[in-house]
Every structure is written in C-alpha cells, then in structure tokens.
Chain A
Amino acid sequence: MIERFLMNTHYIVLIGVILLLIIGFFGALTKRNLIKILIALGIADTGVNLFFITIGYISGKTAPIFSKNGLTASQMVDPVPQALVLTAIVIGVAVLALGLSIIIRVYEHYGTLNVSRIKRMRG
C-alpha cells in the first residue's frame, strides 16, 4: 500500500506542496525578522509554483515541441502551467527585490528588523 503510494510521484509532490505551504505560512506568522518573513513567503510561493507544475505534469510524457517528428498530442505534457509558473516566478522575484529594498529603508529608519518594534503607526 505504502509502496504503491510512493510510486505515484503525484502524491509525493503534492505532500511537498502542502509542506512548503505550511512552512511558508508558519514562518511568516511566527518569525519576527522582516527578512525571514519575506523568505518564508517566498517558500510558500514556491509551494504554489510546484503545485502548478504538478498539475501539468503527466509521467512518461515529453515536452510539447511540434516540429519534432513523430510526436502526437497524447505524448505531451500540458505546457500552460509551465508558462504560468514562469510568470509567477518573475512576479515573485520582483516582489522579493522590492521587499528587500524597502526593508533596507526600514532598517535605516528604525535600526532594527524586528517587526514588533517597527510599530510607529497604530490605532
């Protein structure tokens, strides 16, 4: 039973997706350091990207290159999720870069990266 379960790559990857999401959100909620929170959110993002890839992946199939001779549609994986993930990765990188640059700014003003002490605005 367990062997058959482990044979099915889909399930292993899905468990990985859930783990990544949990690690990411747990980190974002419990860590106090701004950079660590950003990294945690990046991990959660990776989990979603992995999920997207899993959707399109069919084991034993190959890349959809139509100019290759003798390849029919039934032998190909779904290329759409891969295109979407590329977009999502780029968005993630943009958010990460912008986030880090704002964090540098925050550090200049507050002298700390601890979120519990960056609380000038409240009420």
Chain B
Amino acid sequence: MSLNPILMIAVPLFVAFSIPLLGYIHKKAGLYAMSATLLFNTFLSFSTLPHAFEKPIRVIIAGYKPPFGINLAITPFSIFLACLISLMGFIVSIYLLKDETTETQEKFSMLILLVVMGATGIVLTGDIFNMFVFLEIMSISSYALTSIRKDRKGSEAGIKFLLVGSISSTFLLLGIAIIYNQLGTLNMADIARRFSQMNPKLAFAAVSFLFLGLGIESEMFPLNAWAPDVYQGAPAPVAALFSAVTVKAGLYAMIRFLYTISNNSSFIKLLMLFGIATVIVSELSALKQTDVKRMLGYSSLGQIGVILFAVGIGTKTALEGAVFHFVNHAVLKATMFLSIGLLAKYAGGSSFEELKGIGKKYPFLAGVFAIGALGVMGFPPLNGFMSKLMILTAAAKAEHVVLVMLVLAASVVEGFYYFRVLQVMFREPEPTRIEKRSVSLAFVIPLVVLVGMIVGIGLFPGVLMPYFKGAAMDILSRGDYISVMLSGGGAL
C-alpha cells in the first residue's frame, strides 16, 4: 500500500482548517488532531523514503506534465528532510498536549500544523512559485506563533520578524519575476536546464535577489538580527519548532536554489564566507547573553553557520556532513529549547539569575539540557561530534585550514558559555523559592525520545550514513534532477 505523497501537504492543510470546528466537539480535540496528523505525516514520509532513494519520484498534479503545471519533486534530499521535519513536528506536538501557552490552544495547534505543512511543501515542491507560496504560509504562521502569547517580548519579536520576513518575500518575488521574464517557466527542473540561456546581468540580479531573500529565511549572518529576538520572545516549543523545522526548510530552499537551479559557484563560495561570519559573530554574541533562551538562539545561529559553511565548501563529504548536521542541529536544539522552556516555567524566567541551582531541584530536566549542551559542544559519544568532525575534515581536505581554525575557535567559545550555564544550574545552592512540581508524562516522553536520538545517532552514525550519502549525491547531481523531473521519475 502506498499513498500519494501529496497527502503530506493536503491532510495537514485540511485538518488545520477544521481544527476550529473540532473545538466544538471537545476542548482538546484540536491538539489531538494535530498530533495525529503529524504522526500520519511521519509515517507517510518514512514509507516514501526508500522509494525516493531508489529513484527520485515525480508526482504530477491534475494531469499537467512538467514543465507545465505544478509537480512534486521528491528526491532523496527532500524526502529525507520531509522525514526530519514531520518527525520533529510530531515530537514537539506531543510536548504541546500538556503545554499551557494559551488558554484554548486551538489557534496554536492550527498554526503549528500550518508551519509543518509549509515546511514540508517547501522541501517537496518542484515549482519555484509554489515554493514561494509555501514559504509564505510557513512565515506568516511563524509570525503569528511568535506573538501568540500576547506579552511584551512576543509582540516585539513578532513585529520584527514580520517586517524582515516581508522584505525577504519582496526580494524572493522579484527574483522569481526576473526568472519568469527571462525563461517563461516556473518549473525548477526546467529553469535549471535553461538557466544559462538567461541574460547574464539579469541572471546575476535574480540570483542575488533570491540569495538575499533565502538568506533571511535561512538566518545567514548579516540578515539574521531578528532571529535571537524570535527565539527569546516565542514560547519555548515554538522556538524548538523554528530551529528544527522552519530554518531547515529555509536552508533547503537555499541549497536547492544555489546547487540545482542556478549552479552558481561564486555564490556557493560566498555562502562559505557568510557561514564563517555567522559562526563567529553569533558565538561571540552568545557569550555576553544573560538570558539562556536568547543565548540558545545565538547558539542555534552558530550551528546554522556551520551548516552554511559546509554547504559552501561543496565537496561530497562536506555536504554529507552538512546533511548530518541538519539532523543533529534539529534534535539538539529541540531538546534544549523544550527542556529550558520547562525549567523557565518552573523557575519563573529564563535568565541566569532565575535559573540558579535549578539543576538540584529538577535534576532530570537540567540533565536533559546538559546532554543537549554537551552534544552541541561536540563531546565524542554524542551526535554533534560526528557531524562537526565530518565537516571539519572535509574543510581541511579542501584546504580551508584558516577557516577550520576559526570554526574550532568558535567551538571553544561555545564550550565556554555552555559550561557557564551548566555551572549556574548545578553548582549554585538549591533555590528555596522554587517548589518542586511533578513533570507531566507528555513532557517526559518527547525529551526521552530526543535524548535517545542524541545518544543513538552519536553511537551508531553508520545507520544513517547511506541516507546522508544519498542526499549529498542528490544535491550535487544536477543533471539527474533535471532529466528525472522532466522526463519521468520512479514509481511509488
């Protein structure tokens, strides 16, 4: 039995808009519907995974064959990310079952479904305008999610996010318009095939506009000033979702555009430099933070910088490392944001002052946070180590020794500030003002699963290795993408 992958987009969309109706049946019905839908998505994406790795799948919608009409392009890289996105979405959704960010949680579950659906759409679509629409669905839901709590921080972060996001969408649309003007097509494979026919000046303008727009979405250094505010101001599960889902979709769009569509080697090189700048600036900014959630936001940007750096190197091993880091970053940052969210809720805030000695009160939650922190720093048995090692070895092989040293220096800085947090949490005397409360099972299960993933991936990276290799091959083999998408893909 194999279902049409389009259901991965259609079902969440349908459920998202029926959630307000489900609210009449039962107060919590929306939340359960969200979890069930994300579980369905996870199953569907994992069942499509082996087929797509055999041969990329082309799903034709409404009978219009490419280059006409909209089609889904399910390649190894995209289905791998779809799996990651829906799995992380599902894990976060379990956490949300008992979460009390807003009273009804109806809008909340609806928006979360839309974010996951938008991200899935971005990675699966084969049409560049369709990708823009999914990006907008995802972004608009993200703005709303950021400011859903109606407090001061959320509103401020939300409006900043919205203004920057709409600049990004203007640039994206401008780039797409130039491409359409030149080539008269919106199909990604068709654009890729004929990209060299464009007027070089206009092609450069289009690539620059899209690079800017996607740079904002993928939180690249000079364009990411909004991101720490969003990570700090948004509710913790939403921040977890952002670093695990929306950034990944933005990065996917960036990689797909630079490697497959435009194949512009100078912009790929540029990505490497911006990646390094992102790493250094965000790690140094993280150092002077006094709010742990904001610090995590900067640390998340640092990891994104490492991914961008690896993507910019562009060798096969580097890309495998980048895809590996996609997974690790999603898992680690989700773990840390979810655990710090709970700790901040019990402690009354997420600043260093308020979290003093919390590790003695809530050893489990603080321990989970510590495992996440060690993973990000890259301690050997945990997953962050392997991917960083791969990326740095690849960089050294490509003779970017200075850049490798810079990344290593940034990692030292990273270790320094994470140890400071852990010291505040575990070494300070136990606080008396915080009373011990029991942690609900709906919070414990996702955290245990995530920690299991951190340790499991770290111990057995070989299990996932074929998938990283396939995804990296998919990024590099541009000709295959074009021929498969234009002349017919594998069957389900």
Contact = CB atoms under 8 A, between A and B. Distances in A.
Interface residues of B, number: 39
Interface in A74-123: 78, 80-81, 84, 87-88, 91, 94-95, 98-99, 102-103, 105-106, 108-110, 118, 120-121, 123
A19 to B, nearest CB: 14
A103 B181 CA distance: 36
- Identify the interface centre among A84, A95, A102, A108: most chain B CB within 10 Å of its CB: A102
B242 interface: no
A37 B159 CA distance: 11
Contact of B159 (A44, A51, A103): A103
Interface string B138-176: 001001100100111101111100110111011001100
A99 B162 contact: yes
Contacts of B165: 95
Chain A interface, >50% SS class: helix
A121 B229 contact: yes
Chain B interface, >50% SS class: helix
Contact of A102 (B159, B177, B180, B288): B159
B209 to A, nearest CB: 10
B121 interface: no
A33 to B, nearest CB: 12
A88 B180 CA distance: 15
A25 B290 CA distance: 34
A25 B173 CA distance: 15
Contacts of A123: 285, 288-290, 294
A120 B152 contact: yes
Nearest to A104: B155
A41 B156 contact: no
Contacts of A28: 163, 167
Given A55-B181, A80-B186, A99 B163 contact: yes
Given A37-B163, A106-B155, A106-B156, A95 B173 contact: no
B219 interface: no
Contacts of B108: none
Given A94-B140, A98-B140, A121 B170 contact: no
A48 B180 CA distance: 13
Nearest to B173: A48
B232 interface: yes
Interface in B236-293: 285, 288-290
B180 A55 contact: yes
Given A99-B162, A102-B143, A118-B156, A91 B294 contact: no
B170 A41 contact: yes
A90 B84 CA distance: 30
A45 B177 contact: no
B406 to A, nearest CB: 23
Contact of B129 (A51, A84, A110): A84
Contacts of A34: 159
Contacts of A25: 167
A109 B151 CA distance: 8
Given A55-B180, A95-B166, A102 B158 contact: yes
Contact of B162 (A24, A48, A55, A98): A98
B295 to A, nearest CB: 10
Nearest to A45: B170
Contact of B133 (A24, A87, A121): A87
Contacts of A24: 170
Interface of A: 21, 24-25, 28, 34, 37-38, 41, 44-45, 48, 51-52, 55, 78, 80-81, 84, 87-88, 91, 94-95, 98-99, 102-103, 105-106, 108-110, 118, 120-121, 123
25 contacts: A28-B163, A38-B163, A41-B166, A45-B170, A48-B174, A52-B173, A55-B177, A81-B177, A91-B136, A95-B136, A95-B169, A99-B143, A102-B143, A102-B158, A105-B150, A106-B155, A106-B156, A108-B155, A109-B151, A109-B152, A110-B152, A121-B157, A121-B229, A121-B294, A123-B285
Given A51-B174, A80-B186, 13 more contacts: A48-B177, A55-B177, A55-B181, A95-B162, A95-B166, A98-B140, A99-B159, A99-B163, A102-B162, A105-B147, A106-B159, A109-B152, A121-B233
